[in-house]
Structure 1
Amino acid sequence: MAAQHASASPRLRRRSRPVRVAAERYTVRDVVAVALIMVAVVVLAAVTWVTGGRSHAILARGGQVQSGAPITREPTGLVVAWRAPSPVTATRLVRGPLTAGPVVLTGTFEAVTARSPMTGEMVWEYRRGIPLCALEAAWGGAVTVWDFPGGCGDVMLIKGDGGRYGPSRSGFAAGPRRIVTGGQHVLSYGPHQVESWRADLVRTMLVGPSETPLEPDQAQRTVCDVVDATENDDTVGVLRRCPGDASLRFTFFNAVPKEDVTPELEGSWLTGAHHGAVLEVTDSRALLYLAEPTPRFVVLRHSRREGSDEAARTTVRVLAMTRAEHGRAALPGIPIVRTDKSLFWNDGENLYAFDAETLAPKWSAAHVVGTPGILSSLMGSPHWLVAPVRGGLALLDGNTGKQARLLPVAGPAIRKVVVIGGMIVVQQGDTILGLSPLWDVH
């Protein structure tokens, strides 16, 4: 699931295994096969460059970033300071505003724009002359994905704080792609594939059919439909619908296998449900939402047997939940919000809080229609939430879920909130609004 960068805290609670560098490499026996496809790859690259690839890229720079003081008091009202069109962040594959370092990202289908939080003015803008098909924020930058002849797979990272070019990659990517991040890697997943990229955009893992299968086992892999996926520093969790399975199957994978095209499975479980979402994975656990037979949250735990060839044994623990009547309609792809102690997830009608270590539920709040933001600088508590409700935003106590105040906002329902640079930034329809807090004067 996609996380809010303005509110995320470093995952100090996890002890990550040493990161291996293996990625996208071939053995000697692959050389002949590589030679056979080399001409086609070169031709495709030339066509891409000439017909709308990076040769037509424009990276324009605007004004300086302007940020306000942190919000340290409870707002009594909000006023719209700026608005900007952003249909890309309104899609089900993104679902709300993104932040990259000190800037707010907005996206049309032609360009990505970094904006100053206080004013909404352009800090930089990047366009390619080809459609923007996916957008995420990671490593302090904007992960922009463009639709080229090979599909939604031409990627450029633009640094958020200055609009500088970062690494890039191109790869075949059939169908629409969702880009998510939760740890050291970024996941790109589509109808049948899940890829993991590290910070230099080198692929570290591929689950699903390879675009250029070089080994017999790669060509013969079962093709499954990818429903949802997320990752942390060590582990990728994937929910899929596979031929022969009576329900969705969840699988743990090593995020950095020895060979990127050879997934290393660390445990699998048949869910008994036909609709669901992956909310979180840690080194040894996963938190799932499953819609059938009754809506519920499930914590899975897998244990590795070092030095053993036996498959990792997965034990399952089912947790009680507050029924989410409208949860199924909101799936998949709802962003999760992380702090060092809690996780927050919204099903379209209810907000749920979970313990960040155990993944156990802590509380739920009804009538919350979108993903909240974190008021981490509010005096007296680091856990106040600004949550979308009908008619505006509610200020919630992050420790209990109780509402302290309603802040009216006119217009359609808000779907996601981020707090950055002294501003509350929200997605409302196809538009991103910058809301400035107000306080009563006594």
Structure 2
Amino acid sequence: MVSAVIVVVLVVAGVAVWYVSPARHADDVQATSDSPAFAPADVVPAAFVARWHAASAATGTPAITKSLIVTADGGEVTGRDPETGHQVWRYSRDIPLCTAAAAWPNSADEVLAVYRNSRGCSEVTALDGGTGRRVGNRTSDADDTLHLVTDSGYVLAQGPGRLETWGSNLVRGIEYGRVIAPVNPDVQPGRTDCTLFSSAISGDRLTVIERCADDPGYRLTVLGALLDSNEKVTQYGSSLITDIATGPPPVVIAMSGSAIAVYDGGTNASAPSRPTIRLFDTDGAPAGTDIVQGNPAPPADSIPLTSGGVITYFTGTATVVLDAQSLRPRYLVPSTLGPGEMMAGELLLPGPSGVSVRDPATGRPVRTIALKREGYTGGTVSLRVAGESVVEQRGPTVEVYGPAG
């Protein structure tokens, strides 16, 4: 009798877990095998032709796995053949997507899909980048909006009120900001009522621009990506980097193993109100300033891209090219539409009339490849490279161009 009761309890518990799990509410079509990985281009094509386009409002920049191009729209995430745009795999749910991103294409090769429920952008599903097979899930308290930043080891999930780090197994490293019912209240640094604006991660450290209660300006904080041996959040540095907060907040562009780069549109009252790239070391101490061309607030959809040893960042009027290690600006390319990436040893940037091909060391223009952007009426263009193809994200649309001929 006791055994029967135990069995019934276990069955009921199992049904309850299934009822509320992502699996019950998901519709997925998986690929039976991986597609061939992208082969690096030997040369930049002389011309490009449009191959296909698709809606992808939940990605801020093209999501590219080891072998596929991923689009995310509504509640659906789709792995697509790069040449035809045809569906290779699909994962969909009956709740809206907050955001989706490709992570670790050279190792775990996953796609992270974040869905919104009553707890915010809370439900995270990890999908195999080649097949769409579910490889992990997690859920926790979250904000209503979320931005994902990945590096080779961790992903940083940041909203306006809190952030978390996860490994490729989706196990949480730290949570920072708004923490509901903390087990140990001494785990967090002592600041309260903070708004988080932008962030970046590199190795075992992350940095965030925030403004906390009673702060006169914006603050740069550097934290450990994992809890320390006492199960506390490690703070390597935190200091005010502006003396007022009436202007747009500075934006973290990138973090490397030796530096942090921040775009400041001119927030300080005590300094000239000109846009600058401000450098800090990985403890948050100032390390230099370079004047650049840009808007006081860069576009909200301006996301830095890293490839071939350089980082490109769109300021709203120009693209700044930084060294990926020192993060020092190499040069600035005016009159662009967004950031770009390397192909066959040359830098490709989106320009008004097409793709601007440049020498990555000097920024010298090599040539312009004409490109027809159907339906484009303005805004940031984020250009990525997938083998011999160029992939652009323009607002909620991803369009793929392949070599002509």
Distance 1:133 1:217 in 2: 31
Q: Report matched runs for 1:50-89 at 5 Å.
A: 50=19, 53-61=22-30, 65=35, 70-89=40-59
Q: Which runs of 5+ in 1 are unaligned?
A: 1-44, 90-94, 304-313
Q: Do residues 431 (structure 1) and 397 (structure 2) align? A: yes
Alpha carbons 1:102, 1:421 under 8 Å: kept:
no
Query: What is the root-mean-square deviation in Å for CA atoms of aligned residues?
Result: 2.6
Structure-2 change in CA distance of 1:137 and 1:260 (3 Å): farther
Structure-2 change in CA distance of 1:301 and 1:52 (3 Å): closer
Correspondence for 1:135: 100
Q: Do residues 112 (structure 1) and 77 (structure 2) align? A: yes
Aligned residue type for 1:330: P
SS of corresponding position for 1:83 = strand
Structure-2 change in CA distance of 1:263 and 1:106 (3 Å): same
Structure-2 change in CA distance of 1:335 and 1:182 (3 Å): farther
Structure-2 change in CA distance of 1:428 and 1:320 (3 Å): closer
Deviation, 1:266, is 0.1
Correspondence for 2:133: 164
Q: Report matched runs for 1:246-395 at 5 Å.
A: 246-258=216-228, 262-272=232-242, 274=245, 275-292=249-266, 293-302=273-282, 314-324=284-294, 326=295, 328-331=297-300, 334-339=302-307, 341-375=309-343, 378=344, 382=345, 384-395=346-357
Aligned residue type for 1:287: A
Greater mean deviation of Cα atoms: 340-349 or 187-196:
340-349
Correspondence for 2:383: 417
Distance 1:221 1:403 in 2: 48
Aligned residue type for 2:181: T
If asked which structure has higher relative contact order (CA below 8 Å, sep 6+), I would say 1
Encode CA deviations 1:224-281: one digit per residue, 9 max, x unaligned. 0000011011110011011111111001111112279732100122111642111122
Alpha carbons 2:194, 2:213 under 8 Å: kept:
yes
Alpha carbons 1:247, 1:271 under 8 Å: kept:
yes
The normalised TM-score by structure 1 is 0.78
Correspondence for 1:307: none
Aligned length: 372
Structure-2 change in CA distance of 1:62 and 1:82 (3 Å): farther
Distance 2:183 2:70 in 1: 39
Alpha carbons 1:209, 1:221 under 8 Å: kept:
no
Alpha carbons 1:147, 1:153 under 8 Å: kept:
yes
SS of corresponding position for 2:350 = strand
Q: Do residues 206 (structure 1) and 169 (structure 2) align? A: no
Q: Report matched runs for 1:220-235 at 5 Å.
A: 222-235=192-205
Structure-2 change in CA distance of 1:194 and 1:259 (3 Å): farther
Distance 2:332 2:278 in 1: 16
Q: Which runs of 5+ in 2 are unaligned?
A: 1-13, 267-272
Alpha carbons 1:250, 1:268 under 8 Å: kept:
yes
Aligned residue type for 1:254: G
Alpha carbons 1:205, 1:256 under 8 Å: kept:
yes
Greater share of strand: 2
Q: Pick from 179, 182, 187 the counterpart of residue 148 of structure 2.
A: 179
Alpha carbons 2:308, 2:342 under 8 Å: kept:
no
Aligned residue type for 2:146: R
| Aligned-residue identity in percent | 25
Alpha carbons 1:57, 1:129 under 8 Å: kept:
yes
Distance 2:282 2:56 in 1: 40
Alpha carbons 1:66, 1:118 under 8 Å: kept:
no
